[in-house]
Structure 1
Amino acid sequence: MSENNLTQLPDPLAHASALIGCFTCIGLDNDSASLPGACVSAAAQLSHCELCQLYRLDEVTGRLDLIAQHPSATPSLADAASRIDRRHVSLLRDTVDQGVVVSVSDVQNSTYDTAFLPELASPWHALLSVPLFNRLNTVTGVLLCAAQHPAPLLGYASSLGQFGSFALHQLALLRSLRWVPAVAPPARGVSLTNTYGLIGSSTAMAQTCQLISKVLHTPYTVLLRGETGTGKEVVARAIHMAGPRAARAFVVQNCAAFPEGLLESELFGYRKGAFTGAERNYAGLFDAADGGTLLLDEIGDMPLSLQAKLLRVLQEGEVRPLGASAAHKVDVRIIAATHRDLAAMVAEGSFREDLYYRLAQFPIQLPALRERDGDVLQLARHFADKACASLGRAPVEWSNIALDQLSSHAFPGNVRELKCLVERAVLLCDDNVILPEHLPLPQAQVPTTADDITLRQRMERVERVFLLDCLQKNRGNRTRTARELGVARRTLLYRLARLNIPCGDASAER
C-alpha cells in the first residue's frame, strides 16, 4: 500500500476527523446488505469525488464483483457490468495483479480505457484505483474513485485503502456470522402463503408455510418430499428468497439430468488438466452457490459414489474439485427434493443411510393438489392471469361449469398439470370466457361402491370450493361476498362455519 500522503491534502486534520467518523460508522453497521453502500458513500465524501465503486475479488473465478456504487443517480448494478473481467480492463488489472495504487490525473490523455465507467453529462477528469487487502496481505478487492474536475487524488490513496480494506473485512465477518435481522411475525389475519409468495389458502398449504417459517433463519438442511408437480422448486425458491441468503445465488441442479461423470464435475468443478478436455479451471455449482442456496432436485437419482462426496460437503462444509490437491471451504445451504421414498431406497441399499439422515434434518412433505381444498381455483385464476399477460391479451373469465370441472378433477399431475391445462384453455378460448370444452378433462366417474362419498358430501365439497373462490375474489370481505351471492351476511357466516372454513382463510373486513 502507498505511503501516507495526508500531508499533501488541503486540510489533513479535517480529513482525519472525517475518516475516523467513517471507520466508526462501518464498524457499527451490522447489516451486510447496507454496508457496501455505506462504504462507497463515505469514500466519495472523503475524496470529494462524483463517483465511487467498490469491487470484491472472487477467489474462485478471479473476477471482480461490483458490489456497490455511489451515487444512486448512476446506472444500477443490474444495468452496469456487475462482473468485471479484470484481464480486459487494464486499470483494474494493474491494481489487482500488481497490488499497487493507480492514479490518473488526466483521463482524456491517459492510455487506460475507462469505457467500463458510467457515462455522465461531464467527462471524467481524474481517477484513483486503490487495491484492498486482507490480514494476509492478499488483494481482496478494489476501491475506485473518479472526479469530473482536476483533483490530486493520490493523497487519499493510503486512507481510502485502509478504509476500504476494513469495510470488506467487516462484510466478510458479518456474512460468516450469518447475522439475521429480527423479522416481525406476520400480522394477525395475514396469510403466510402471501408472505412467501405461494398461492393457496387451504389448511394443507398453511401447515406447509408454518414449517417454512420455522426453518427459514436456520442453517438446517431441508428435504422437500412430494409427488411430481407439487411445486418443490417453487417452495425451495420461497425459502431462499424469504431468508437471509436472498441477496446471493439460488442454484438448481437436477441430479437425474446428467450421467455420473458429468454430474460430479458440474457440482464440484475441476482443475485444468484433470481429464481430457479440461483446458481451464471450472468452478462447480457449489462454488457458484457460495453464500446462497443450492437445490439438488431428484436427489434420489444421485449415484452412490457422489452421495459420499455430498455427505462430506454437508459434514465439513468443503468441496474438492476434480484434479485439485486440496479442498476449500464453501458456505452453501443445501435443499434437496425428491418424489421418491428415500427411506425405502435406504432399505434396498440404493441410497446411503447416513446421507439420508443428514438430508432429512428438516423434512417438509408437500401436499398433493387434491389435498388442498379451494386452492385449485385460486391457482387456476393465477395461471390464467399470467398466461394472458404473457400473451398480451385481456384477462379471461371463467364459466361456473368450467370451475366445477376443475374442482372435481383429481389432478394426478398436481400443480404442473393444472398450469398446463389452464395455459391451453387460455389459448383456446376466443370470447374471453373459459368454457368446459376448453378443458379436456375426463367425465366424473359415477360412485359404484359403498366407500364412495355421499351426495351430501359431494355437494358440500363443491360448495366449500365455491365459497372459498368467491371469498378470494372479494379479498376476504364477507359483506361483499354475501352481496355477490345474494344471501344475507348471517347466512354466509353460518355456511362458512358449517363447512369448517375458519376466519383465518379470509382476511378481516375492511
Structure 2
Amino acid sequence: MFDRLTHPLHYAEDLLARFTALAGSRGSRQLQERLVEAASSLTGCPLGQLFLLDATHTQLTLAAEWLDGQPHSREADTVSSDYNDQQLLQYCLCQNQVLYLAQLDNSLYATPFLPATNADWRSLLCLPLHDDQQHVAGLLLLASHEALELHGYADSLQLLGNFALHQLHLLQQVQQGQSSTTEVREPAPNYPRGYGLIGDSPAMQAVYQLIGKVLHNPVTVLLTGETGTGKELVARAIHDYGSRRTQPFIAQNCAALPENLLESELFGYRKGAFTGADKDHRGLIDSADGGTLFLDEIGDMPLALQAKLLRVLQEGEVRPLGSSDTHMVDVRIIAATHQDLQAQVRDGQFREDLYYRLTHFPIELPPLRERGEDIRILAMHFADEACCFLQREICRWSDSALEHLAGYSFPGNVRELKGLIARALLLCDGNLLLPEHFNLPETISQPNGLSLRERMERVERNLLLDCLQRNQGNQTSAASELGLPRRTLLYRMQRLNISPADLKSRERNHVQSGQ
C-alpha cells in the first residue's frame, strides 16, 4: 500500500493518528471536516473535498471542503442526478473507479466543482467511498496546483474515507430524534434539466423529477400514458443519463411478434430446440446484460411469456429454449404500455404478480394537450429538424399558425404533432407556415371550453404582444401605433396579464422560429 511513498513509515504513523482523530469526532460536521483536513495534510494538497450521496442516491452534495489549511465555507453545491457538466465526478461515482489525473487540462475536463483560485489546478485524485453494503456513497477528492504523484495515496485514503463514512453513519443513528441532527446540511433538491427531452411545462418538470429518482437505482420502471407521448424517449433518457449508459440499450415491441417468435427473441434458443434452429441464438435479454431492455406494449405480452419474464425480474435467471440450464443476467427492465394494466388484471389478461412487480416505480407521461406552451416549443423544434432533413431554409411561423396548433387536442400526442409538421412543410411553398398548412378539424382546433369572450381576449393579447415586440417593449410607441392612449394600453396589458417576461419569451420563440 505504501510502496510508492517516499517515507512510508512516517506516513503510516500519521495515518494511524488520523484514524484515531476521526474515531473521536463528536459530531457529523466535525467528522467531515477532520476527514478532508486529514486527506489534505497527508497528501500535501491544498484542497480536500468530501461529496456525499443522499439516501436515494439521486443527489450528490459537497459536504465538507478544506482549502489552504482551513475549512472553506461556501453554499452547499448539489449536483443534479444527471451529473451534467460533472464528467469527472460522474466517472468515479458511476464506474466505482479511482480517478487520478497527473496533468489536469481545463480545456478537456469541466471542473465546476473546484473552487476558483489564482493558480490553475493541475493534479487531481478522486476516490469512491463505500457504505456498509459496499455501495458507493460518496467521493473524497484531492487537488493540487503543482504536479504531484497522488496515485500512491489512493488505497490508504480510501480506507480512511470508508472508515469516516461508517463513523458518520453511527453518529447519525445516535443523533436520530435529537435536535443535533440538524447539523447535517440538507440542501434543497437540484432537479435536472430535461435529460435531453423537450418541454418546460409543470407536467414535464414532474416527469423529470421522477426520472432523476431512478437514474442510478436499478428498479424496474413502468411507463404509462396515451399513445405517442414519448415513452421510448423517456426509457432511453433513463438509460443514457443513468449508471448503465455505457452498456447496451435494446428495445422490443411485445405486440410486433407472435408468441413463439417473441419468446425465442427474448430468451434465445439452443441448437435443435425446434425445426430450423441450426445454431445457438443469443436472446435480447442476454444481449442487454449489464444494460437496459425496453419492453414496449407490455400489455400485449402473452400470459405464458409473462411467467418467464417474472422469473427474470425476481431471480435474474434466464433459460433459453431447448436448454435445461439457467444462467444469471444483470439487466434492467423498463416496460411501457398505453393500456390499463389494472383492468387487464381484473379481466384475467395480465398476471397480477407481474403487474405488482412492474409497478415498483410507475411514471405516467402527460398527454400533449396538458403541456401548454410545450406545443409551441415542440412544433418549432420539429419544423427546424424537418427543414434540415429536407435541406431547405428554416421556415418561419405565423402567430396564427401557432395559435391554431395550441387549440388542438392532439389525440395522437407528440407523434401526431411531428407528422402534422412534416406534412405542413411539404404543403408550404414559401417560407412562412400558415394555419391552412395544417389539416385540423375546425371543431377540434378551437380551444375546448373557451367562451367567445375568452377567445376574443386571446386574439387581443396576441395583437398587443406583437405590437409591443415590434416597438421593442416601448409602451408609448406601441400605444401610438394602436391609436390608443398610453393609459388605456397599460390597462389592457394589466387586464390580459401581459408582463415583460411574456415579451422575452415571445422574442426567444421568434428567434428560434427564424422570425
Q: Calculate the TM-score normalised by the size of structure 2.
A: 0.56
Does the C-alpha gap of structure 1 residues 270 and 220 become closer, same or farther in structure 2, counting only changes over 3 Å?
same
Contact 1:319–1:329 (8 Å) recurs in 2 = yes
Contact 1:222–1:360 (8 Å) recurs in 2 = yes
Does the C-alpha gap of structure 1 residues 177 and 442 become closer, same or farther in structure 2, counting only changes over 3 Å?
farther
Amino acid at match of 1:371: E
Q: Distance in 2 between matches of 1:495 and 1:335?
A: 47
Q: Distance in 1 between matches of 2:323 and 2:369?
A: 49
Q: 1:454 pairs with 436, 451, 454, which one?
A: 451
Shift of residue 279 of structure 1?
A: 1.1
Does the C-alpha gap of structure 1 residues 374 and 463 become closer, same or farther in structure 2, counting only changes over 3 Å?
farther
Contact 1:408–1:444 (8 Å) recurs in 2 = no
Q: How many residues are paired up? A: 336
- RMSD, aligned α-carbons: 4.5
Shift of residue 496 of structure 1?
A: 9.2
Q: Distance in 2 between matches of 1:286 and 1:180?
A: 29
Shift of residue 342 of structure 1?
A: 0.2
Does the C-alpha gap of structure 1 residues 264 and 177 become closer, same or farther in structure 2, counting only changes over 3 Å?
farther
Contact 2:298–2:336 (8 Å) recurs in 1 = yes
Residue-by-residue CA offset, 1:179-236 (whole Å, 9 max, x unaligned): 5877xxxx999984x4311111111111111111122221111111111111111111
Contact 2:199–2:378 (8 Å) recurs in 1 = yes
Contact 1:191–1:201 (8 Å) recurs in 2 = no
Residue in 2 that maps onto 1:205: 204
Q: Distance in 1 between matches of 2:285 and 2:341?
A: 23
Amino acid at match of 2:256: A
| Residue aligned with 1:270, SS | coil
Amino acid at match of 1:206: Q
Residue in 2 that maps onto 1:252: 251
Residue in 2 that maps onto 1:11: none
Residue in 1 that maps onto 2:415: 416
Q: Distance in 2 between matches of 1:388 and 1:319?
A: 46
Q: Distance in 2 between matches of 1:459 and 1:310?
A: 55
Contact 1:223–1:359 (8 Å) recurs in 2 = yes
Residue in 2 that maps onto 1:348: 347
Contact 1:202–1:374 (8 Å) recurs in 2 = yes
Does the C-alpha gap of structure 1 residues 457 and 181 become closer, same or farther in structure 2, counting only changes over 3 Å?
farther
Q: Distance in 2 between matches of 1:369 and 1:201?
A: 12
Amino acid at match of 2:433: I
Q: Distance in 2 between matches of 1:446 and 1:387?
A: 23
Shift of residue 438 of structure 1?
A: 1.3
Q: Distance in 1 between matches of 2:330 and 2:267?
A: 14
What percentage of aligned pairs have identical amino acids?
A: 56
Structure 2 residue 386 is the aligned partner of structure 1 residue 387 = yes
Contact 1:409–1:444 (8 Å) recurs in 2 = no
Q: Calculate the TM-score normalised by the size of structure 1.
A: 0.56
Q: Distance in 2 between matches of 1:393 and 1:462?
A: 31
Residue in 1 that maps onto 2:11: none
Contact 1:223–1:362 (8 Å) recurs in 2 = yes
Residue-by-residue CA offset, 1:260-302 (whole Å, 9 max, x unaligned): 0000000011111111111111111111111111110000000
Shift of residue 498 of structure 1?
A: 7.7
Does the C-alpha gap of structure 1 residues 188 and 278 become closer, same or farther in structure 2, counting only changes over 3 Å?
same
Query: What are the residue-to-residue correspondences of 1:258-297 with 2, within 5 Å?
Result: 258-297=257-296
Shift of residue 32 of structure 1?
A: 6.7
Does the C-alpha gap of structure 1 residues 447 and 294 become closer, same or farther in structure 2, counting only changes over 3 Å?
closer
Residue in 2 that maps onto 1:77: none
Residue in 1 that maps onto 2:311: 312
Amino acid at match of 1:203: P
| Residue aligned with 1:296, SS | strand
Runs of 4+ aligned structure 1 residues displaced above 3 Å come to 29-38, 176-182, 187-192, 444-448, 455-464, 480-499
Amino acid at match of 2:297: E
Q: Distance in 2 between matches of 1:387 and 1:260?
A: 37
Shift of residue 432 of structure 1?
A: 1.3
Q: Give the gaps of 5 or more residues in structure 1.
A: 1-15, 19-28, 42-71, 73-172, 471-477
Contact 2:92–2:98 (8 Å) recurs in 1 = no
| Residue aligned with 1:201, SS | coil
Does the C-alpha gap of structure 1 residues 232 and 491 become closer, same or farther in structure 2, counting only changes over 3 Å?
farther
Amino acid at match of 1:285: L
Contact 1:496–1:502 (8 Å) recurs in 2 = no
Query: What are the residue-to-residue correspondences of 1:156-305 with 2, within 5 Å?
Result: 179=136, 192=192, 194-305=193-304
Q: Distance in 1 between matches of 2:238 and 2:333?
A: 11
Q: Distance in 1 between matches of 2:389 and 2:459?
A: 31
